Amino acid sequence: MQMPALTLQDYRRLAQERMERPVWDFFEGGAGEEHTLAANERAFDRVRLRPTVLRPAAGPDTTCKILGRTWAAPIGVAPMAFHTLAHPDGELATVRAAAARGLPVTVSTFAGRACEELAAAAAGAPLWLQLYCFRDRSVTRRLIERAERAGAEALVLTVDAPRLGRRLRDVRNDFRLPPHIVPANLDGGGFSSPAAHARAELDPSLDWSAVPWLRSVTSLPVLVKGVLTAPDALRAVEAGVDGIIVSNHGGRQLDGVPATLEALPEIAAAVRGACPVLIDGGIRRGRDVLACLALGADAALVGRPVLHGLAAGGEDGVGGVLDILLEELQDAMTLTGTRSLADILPDLVRTGEPW
C-alpha cells in the first residue's frame, strides 16, 4: 500500500513519477544555472520562528481580507500556464479544489481551460486573471473583456517578462507542447513552443503606461506581479496599482535576482500599507506562509506544488496539497501562540543559518 502524502515534498515525488521528463523540466526548471530558483526555497530554511508560550491559540483564525474579499487563509494559487499538461482537467480541477477551501486562484493568460467554465467552477471564490501584454494590444483587451464578462475579480499584470528567461532545460529538450495543449482563452496558433511564441508575441516594450492603459479598458483592480525592489514598488504605488506581488517568477526569468523572501522586507517597508503586498516563490510549508506574513506580506501564492498535486491526483491532489498547507499553517499558528493574522508581527521571525 502506498503511504499517504503528508508533505508537499511527498506530492512532488508522486508527480515526478508520473510525468514525462520534458514536461517535468518545463514545470520545475528555472532560468540559467537555477541559483534563484534554489534560493527561493532555501530562504525559508533560514527562518527561525519565535513562539510565545502560554497564549492559547487553538483553532486559530486564518481568514484574511484582500481587495474586499475574505479568503479562508492567506494562501492563493499563483498563475501558471497549461495546467492541462499535468492533468486533463487542468485549471478546472485546480479552481474546484481551491474554491472548495475558500482560496483564490489566479488563472494564467496561457490557461488550458476556458475562463467561463473556471468562473463557474469558482462558485463565488475569488478568481483573478494574470495578464501578459501582447504586442497586439487588442489580443490583451479581448482577453480582459472575456475574463471580466466571465466574472474575474482582478487583473494581475506580469511585469518581469519583457522577454522570456533563458530556461536551459527547455532549450536542451527543445520543449514543445503536445498538439492538444493550447491556451483556451486565446485565438490563433503557433503555441507549440512556449518560448518562441512568447518571444514573437509578448510586448518587450511594456512600461508603466500599461497601468493607466489597463484602467482605461477595465474597471477591475490591477495588481503587478514581479516586483523585487523598493523603488519599483514605489513606482507601482504611484501608478495607482491595487496590489503588488513580490515575485521572481519562480526563478524562471533572471537567474541572479534575490529570493523573494529576501526582497520582501524592503518592499513592505516602502509600500507601508498603501496596497496589499503578496509574495510567491518557494513556499512549500504552512510555516513558510507565517514567515511571509511576519516579513510584511498580506498573503502568499503557491506555484509548482499545485501542479504536483494536480499531476498526482487531479482535483483531489490539489486539494491534498492545499489541505496540507492549511493544516501546517494552523499548526504553526497554534504552536507560536498566534491567534489570528493580526498577531503575526516581524518579531515572530529571526534569520539563522540554513537548516
Ligand X SMILES: Cc1cc2nc3c(=O)[nH]c(=O)nc-3n(C[C@H](O)[C@H](O)[C@H](O)COP(=O)(O)O)c2cc1C
Residue ranges binding ligand X (CB under 6 A): 27, 40, 78-81, 108-110, 130, 158, 225, 247, 249-250, 252, 280-283, 302-304
Q: Is the Cβ of residue 24 or residue 71 nearer to ligand X in the bound state?
A: 24
Site string for ligand COI, 154-193 (x = CB under 6 A): ----------x-----------------------------
Name which position in 5, 47, 81, 290 contacts ligand COI (CB under 6 A). 81
Q: Verify binding: residue 198, ligand COI, rule CB under 6 A.
A: yes
Compute the least distance from the CB of residue 246 to ligand X, in Å: 10
Residues in CB range of 69: below 8 A, 6 or more apart: 104, 126, 153
Of residues 283 through 342, those in contact with ligand COI by CB under 6 A are: none
**Among the options 83, 197, 249, 308, which is catalytic?**
249
Is 180 tagged catalytic?
A: no
DSSP secondary structure, 33-91, as one string: T-HHHHHHHHHHTTEEE----S---SS-B--EEETTEEESSSEEEPP-S-GGGT-TTTH
Site string for ligand COI, 91-110 (x = CB under 6 A): -------------------x
> Do residues 280 and 302 touch, judged by C-beta distance below 8 A?
yes
Q: Are strands 299-302 and 47-49 parallel, antiparallel or unpaired?
A: unpaired
Cα(308)–Cα(161) distance, rounded to whole angstroms? Answer: 24
Output the nine-digit C-alpha cell for 94.
485546480
According to DSSP, residue 3 is labeled: P
Per-residue b or e along 54-74, where b marks 16 or more CB atoms closer than 10 Å to that residue's CB: eeebeebebebebbeeebbbb
Binding partner of 198, given ligand COI, ligand X, none, CB within 5-8 angstroms per partner class? ligand COI
Binding partner of 27, given ligand X, ligand COI, none, CB within 5-8 angstroms per partner class? ligand X
Residues noted as catalytic: 249
Q: Which residues bind ligand COI (CB under 6 A)?
A: 81, 110, 164, 194, 198, 249, 252
